[in-house]
Structure 1
Amino acid sequence: MAEHDESYKLLFSHRELVADLIRGFVQADWVREVDFTTLERYAESGVARNLDERIDDVVWRARWGERWLYVYLVLEFQSTVDPYMALRMSVYAGLLYQRLIRAGEITAPGSLPPLLPIVLYNGEKPWTAAETLSALIEPRLPPELLRYQPELRYLLLEERRYGEIDLPADENLAGALFRLENSRLPEEVERVLATLVQLLAADEYASLRRAFVVWLKRVLLPAKAPGAEIPPIIELQEMQAMLAERVKTWTEQWKEEGKVEGRQEGRLEGRLEGRLEGRQEGESAVLRRLLTRRFGPLPQWAEARLRTADESQLQAWADRILDGATLEEIFG
């Protein structure tokens, strides 16, 4: 998992990806006032030297509105749920503020910069930790004591909660990353890569292109197609071409490994190519689950078709689930 975290940190060491993460996933009016052309890594400012390395390489600042304000973005890459994440974020905030004061960045009392703590979570289990520090503190306190308890809230971005309809437009780099993480088919990965190749074609994005390739080779593809041989590729366009060439083979492998319905969700409950066992109702339930994962909540007409279909019709729809781009194509 350390390799996963390091690959992620390499991606988020690029200003373009961090800017798109804020633009696409922080739903607030103040975001429009941030001058993302001034966005810079906090470590590069010379202030974060000697701070805990878990935070100094993922903290950023930018101009906000007409004044020079610090906007700090703390990214924690977690594969498991840390029940005390709110406490950790509070400690990080204190370390940052103390370092700013010692470095002479704060010129007057009461002018500490705003802090935006973000937890980017991509684990399999739902995130269950408290998102505020106050939620971790003994709740049965008299009001006179409760008012003195510390408070901090972080923004949780749980990747698997974002369906296609919830993600920002295709040109958003962070949205593209989420789409790759949540992909169910090699064709979906190939489509996202085609978009990334266009978005990152300029020479100035060479480092970010390589970061995506590193992450694809070390994290995404080994998880989606375990055991598959990945050639020595250094450019994103080469990765797209390679994937296009191997789409058919890898589609069968992903399906065989049970990856079509979600990362490590287990086998396709009966394998939709004729290995579905049990009653017809069970076949319909499995197909409904897979369709919902690909397209979101099903419309009434699709639910009605599933309820009234016989076994042969269900199997015919199951055969189309890998190739159909829309519900209409699958149901014919």
Structure 2
Amino acid sequence: MSAHHDLGYRSLFAHPGLVRELVTDFTPFKLFDDVALSSFEAVDPVYVSERLAGRPNDIVWRVRIGEQFLYVVILLEFQSGVDRWMALRMQNYVGLLCQNLVKQHQLPPSLQLPPVLPLVFYNGVPHSSARTDLATLFMEAPAELAPFQPSQRYVLIDQQRLDTAALEANATLLALLFRMELSSASEVRNTILPALATWFQDAPRPA
């Protein structure tokens, strides 16, 4: 199937269950494994997008873990080219998010900013060669200035290069949708659609 048929991922990642599957199954982090779906709260990122050229594919979730919140920032990249400045864009995005939390008085009593998990979901055909650490986009600084240089990292999920065997061993809805995106038409018809039908048949029904 075409790599550019994005299956409406922005709509998919409007659901807390699929966001949790994304971070538990496709990143190395384990802190979300036992987090209830009721702890996920979608955040409107418009205030950020308007300042950053109005991108519609930016998603922000607030997640309560224990007594604190953290924020999951997801940038969806479906363009054919690679954005060299992705780490810089992510830094701007996270900075604006934090500024808004301060402005809206949404900080805890300690007045400390919350942790942030920055994710880039990349769907392009060429391998993503963009640097994932902002520091690598800067020239080497004199030793005296090195401690003062900015740094912002993000986690890259490169869909076109997900491990096929791992996807086949994963029975979650998100893994099946990823397989649909990456499979041929005959594979979708003969393998993926029956697996999706089984998933929906076995999925728990709301009370």
Residue 139 (structure 2) pairs with residue 138 (structure 1): yes
Q: Measure, in 2, the Cα distance between the counterparts of 1:119 and 1:29.
A: 18
Q: Tell me the equivalent position of 1:98.
A: 99
Would you say the 8 A contact 1:71–1:114 is kept in 2?
yes
Letter in 2 for 1:71: Y
Q: Tell me the equivalent position of 1:164.
A: 164
User: How far apart are 1:77 and its partner, in Å?
Assistant: 2.2
Q: SS of 2:125's equivalent?
A: coil
Would you say the 8 A contact 1:72–1:117 is kept in 2?
yes
Would you say the 8 A contact 1:86–1:152 is kept in 2?
yes
Question: With CA pairs under 8 Å and 6+ residues apart, which has the higher RCO, 1 or 2?
Answer: 2
Q: Measure, in 2, the Cα distance between the counterparts of 1:87 and 1:13.
A: 25
Q: Tell me the equivalent position of 2:126.
A: 125
Question: How do 1:1-332 and structure 2 match up within 5 A?
Answer: 7-32=8-33, 34-43=35-44, 48=45, 50-52=47-49, 54=55, 58-64=59-65, 66-79=66-79, 80-108=81-109, 111-139=112-140, 141-167=141-167, 169-201=169-201
Would you say the 8 A contact 1:13–1:57 is kept in 2?
no
User: How far apart are 1:71 and its partner, in Å?
Assistant: 2.7
Question: Residues 168 and 200 from structure 1, CA distance in 2 versus in 1: closer, same or farther, beyond 3 angstroms?
Answer: same
Q: SS of 1:41's equivalent?
A: strand
Q: SS of 2:196's equivalent?
A: helix
Task: Describe the superposition over 1:156-187 as per-residue Cα deviations: whole angstroms up to 9, x where unpaired.
Answer: 11112113223374322221122112113423
Q: Measure, in 1, the Cα distance between the counterparts of 2:135 and 2:56.
A: 22
Q: SS of 1:129's equivalent?
A: coil
- How many percent identity over aligned positions? 33
Higher helix share: 1
Q: SS of 2:156's equivalent?
A: strand
Task: Describe the superposition over 1:219-247 as per-residue Cα deviations: whole angstroms up to 9, x where unpaired.
Answer: xxxxxxxxxxxxxxxxxxxxxxxxxxxxx
Q: Measure, in 1, the Cα distance between the counterparts of 2:43 and 2:205.
A: 21
Higher strand share: 2
Q: SS of 1:74's equivalent?
A: strand
Structure 1 residue ranges without an equivalent (≥5): 206-332
Would you say the 8 A contact 1:35–1:63 is kept in 2?
no
User: How far apart are 1:69 and its partner, in Å?
Assistant: 1.4
Question: Residues 22 and 169 from structure 1, CA distance in 2 versus in 1: closer, same or farther, beyond 3 angstroms?
Answer: farther
Question: Residues 55 and 147 from structure 1, CA distance in 2 versus in 1: closer, same or farther, beyond 3 angstroms?
Answer: farther
Q: Measure, in 2, the Cα distance between the counterparts of 1:127 and 1:98.
A: 29
The normalised TM-score by structure 1 is 0.53
Q: SS of 1:76's equivalent?
A: strand
Would you say the 8 A contact 2:75–2:119 is kept in 1?
yes
Root-mean-square deviation (CA, aligned residues, Å) is 2.8
User: How far apart are 1:153 and its partner, in Å?
Assistant: 0.6
Would you say the 8 A contact 2:132–2:155 is kept in 1?
yes
Q: Measure, in 1, the Cα distance between the counterparts of 2:161 and 2:200.
A: 27
Task: Describe the superposition over 1:58-87 as per-residue Cα deviations: whole angstroms up to 9, x where unpaired.
Answer: 1111121x2131232323223221000000
Would you say the 8 A contact 2:72–2:118 is kept in 1?
yes
Would you say the 8 A contact 1:35–1:62 is kept in 2?
no
User: How far apart are 1:203 and its partner, in Å?
Assistant: 9.2
Task: Describe the superposition over 1:17-43 as per-residue Cα deviations: whole angstroms up to 9, x where unpaired.
Answer: 211111111112323353333112112
